[in-house]
Structure 1
C-alpha cells in the first residue's frame, strides 16, 4: 500500500468542454475589436442610439497583462522504504488505478468546497442590501462589509452591478448608501427602463462578457431578432471614464458566465487589484450533468478551483458565503454532496489605489 508522503503541484490546464466548442462555433460575431493598441471608432448597433449603448470609443490596453491563474493538479509522491525509491503519481489524470483516481477526485472536491464556502476574512459589520422575501426565504439581497478598513466611502464610491434582471433593490440600496451605481443587463424586456432608474443609479443596456460581441438571437415565434451586446469590464470602465478608478463593489450575477469572463478577460487586467469588494453568485452547474464521468468531474473541479485561487492570489479573502436558499440545487460527486449555487462576498486585502473618475 502506497502512503502519500508529500504533495506538490504541476500545471494541467483543462481542455475546452464540448459545450464551449459548440457555443464558439455557433455564435454570430459582429464585433471583436480587442486590439493591441488604443483605437477610436464609432460602432453602431441597429435600433439603438449612441447614448444607450455608449459606443463612442473602444479601448484595449497596450500594457502587459498578468496571465490567468494556472489550473493545477496534485501529484502525490509515495515512498517505498524497502527499495529506497520514490514514485510520483499524477492522481488527477492517471485513471489506471480506479481507487486512487476516485480518491484524488474526493480530495480535490474537499479542497474546492472548503475554498468556496469557508470564510477567511472576519467581517464584523456585514450590511444586507436589497433583496426580497419569498415564503420567509430571503432572495436577491447582497452583503457588503462596512468595517472601517474595507467599507465603501460614502458619497464617493462606485458600484458596478451586472446581471440585474428586473431586481434593482441592491442597486437602489447602494445609491441610498451614497454610491454612484451603474447597473447592467440587456434583453428585449429591458427597453422599458429609463437611463436613471433611481437616484444615483444609472441603467445601461450592456451585458458583461469576455470580449466585444453582438449576438443575434432570433425569436421564431414573434419573428423578431434581438441583438445582445457584450463588453469586457475594462472596456466598459474606459467608456464610463472609470478606467483608472477604484471599484468599491463589483457585483455579478451572470448565470454561469462568470468562469469564462474571469479567466478570459478580468484576470488578464488589473481591475481586480483596484476593486474593494466582489459580490458574486457562483453557478457550478457542470456537476449537474447526468452520468458525470470521473474525468469530467476532475476537469470541472480544477476549472472552478482556478477561479477561487485566482481571487486569493490577488489578495481577495472570502468574507461571506451562503447557498442559494430560494432555489437550492445540490450535486453529489463521488459520495460528496454540496450546493452548486451560492452567494459570495470577497474582500480585497491588498487594494491598490486608483485615480478619481474623469469628469466630463
Structure 2
C-alpha cells in the first residue's frame, strides 16, 4: 500500500491501513496457535514414551502400598503373598518366614476358570482344573500318593478323564502289595520319600525317580500328581525338584503339614515351597484343614497347620 509523503492521509487510506494491521494481527494469532499445538503434541509424545517404559512394571513398584497400622499393618509389612520365586528368603527373620509361609499358602495366584472336584466333597476329594490347556487327556497318567482306604479321587479321575491312576500307600497293610482295583486304577503298597528305604514302621518308601523306574515311566508324562503323605512331603519334594521329576507335570496337589514355628523348621520348608514356584507352578485353589487350627505369633487371626494346595503350570 502506498502512503502519501505529506502529513495528510485521506480517509480511504486510513481504512486500508486499519485493514492491513488487522490482517497482520490475525496472521500472528494463527502462528502462535500453531506453535502451541506443536508444543502440546510434543508433551503428549513424551507422556506416551513414559507409558511404554512403565506399562510392564508391576503396580506395586509404581505405587507404594498403604500398609495401614495395627495388626494387619504389621502382617502386610512382614509377609509376602506373591512372587515368592524371586525372594531371598534366607535373609528373612524368623517372624517374616513364619508370617510369609502362612500368608503365601493361603492365597491363590492364578485363575482356573473351571474346577471339578474328583472324589468326596469332604476330606479325600481334590479339585482338578479343567481348563483346556491343563486338563488331562487320554492317554494320561495320574500318581496318587496317600490313599488311607479312600479311592474316591482315583476312581472319579479314572472314570471321567480315562486316565490310568497309580495309587500308593504304605500304611494300608491289610491290602495286597500290589493289585489292580480296576482296569485303570492300580494300587501299590509303597510310599513316597526323599530316599528309597524301609522305615522304622517297616514301610517301603521309594523316591519318585525310583517309582517311575519301577513302572517304566522314566520318559512318560505324568499329568497330575496328588500327595497327601502326612509330613513325608518335606523329604520327597526337594528330591523331586532336584532331579527334575516334575518336568511335564501340569497339575500338582499337595497337603502341607506345618507342625512347628522355629526357624530351623520353617526355613527349609519355605525353600521347598519356593522351589515349586521357581519351577513354574502357581496356586489356583487352597483349602485349609479346619481341625488343625492354631494361633501363630504375629498373625491376628487363626491359622491352620495343614494346607491343601492345588497348583497348575501353564
TM value normalised by structure 1: 0.59
Q: Secondary structure at the match of 1:342?
A: strand
Tell me the SS of whatever aligns to 1:307: helix
Match of 1:7 in 2: none
- After TM superposition, list the pairs within 5 Å mapping 1:47-66 onto structure 2: none
Q: Quick check: 1:275 aligned with 2:275?
A: no
Cα 1:205–1:193 shift into 2, 3 Å: closer
- CA distance in structure 2 between the aligned counterparts of 1:260 and 1:70, rounded to whole angstroms: 22
Is residue 115 from structure 1 mapped to residue 104 from structure 2 by the alignment?
yes
3-state DSSP of counterpart to 1:247: coil
Is this contact kept in 1: 2:225–2:251, CA < 8 A?
Answer: yes
Number of equivalent positions: 227
1:112-145 CA-to-partner distances (Å, cap 9, x unmatched) read 223212111100011101025xxxxx21111110
Q: Give the secondary-structure state (helix, strand or coil) at the position aligned to 1:117.
A: coil
CA gap 1:245/1:345 in 2 versus in 1, 3 angstroms: same
Alignment counterpart, residue 310 of structure 1, candidates 267, 270, 275: 275
Instruction: Tell which structure's C-alpha radius of gyration is larger.
Output: 2
1:344 aligns with 2:309: yes
1:179 aligns with 2:144: no
Distance 1:284 1:107 in 2: 15
Instruction: Kindly state the Cα deviation for residue 70 of structure 1 after the two structures are TM-superposed.
Output: 10
List alignment gaps of at least 5 residues for structure 2: 1-85
1:73 pairs with 90, 99, 102, which one? 90
Calculate the TM-score normalised by the size of structure 2: 0.67
Which is richer in strand? 1
| Structure 1, unpaired ranges of 5+ | 1-68, 75-91, 93-103, 133-137, 218-226, 288-295, 350-360
Matches within 5 A, 1:1-360: 72-74=89-91, 92=92, 104-132=93-121, 138-153=122-137, 155-177=138-160, 178-187=162-171, 189-191=173-175, 195-217=179-201, 227-263=202-238, 265-287=239-261, 296=262, 298-325=263-290, 327-336=291-300, 337-349=302-314
Give the match for residue 36 of structure 1.
none
Tell me the SS of whatever aligns to 1:322.
strand
Alpha-carbon separation, structure 2, partners of 1:307 and 1:190: 33
- Going from structure 1 to structure 2, the CA distance change for 1:172 and 1:300 (only over 3 Å counts) comes to same
Q: What do the CA deviations read for 1:42-86 (whole angstroms, capped 9, x no partner)? A: xxxxxxxxxxxxxxxxxxxxxxxxxxx998322xxxxxxxxxxxx
1:63 aligned residue? none
Per-residue CA distance 1:317-352 (angstroms, 9 max, x = gap): 011101013x24324224554211111111123xxx
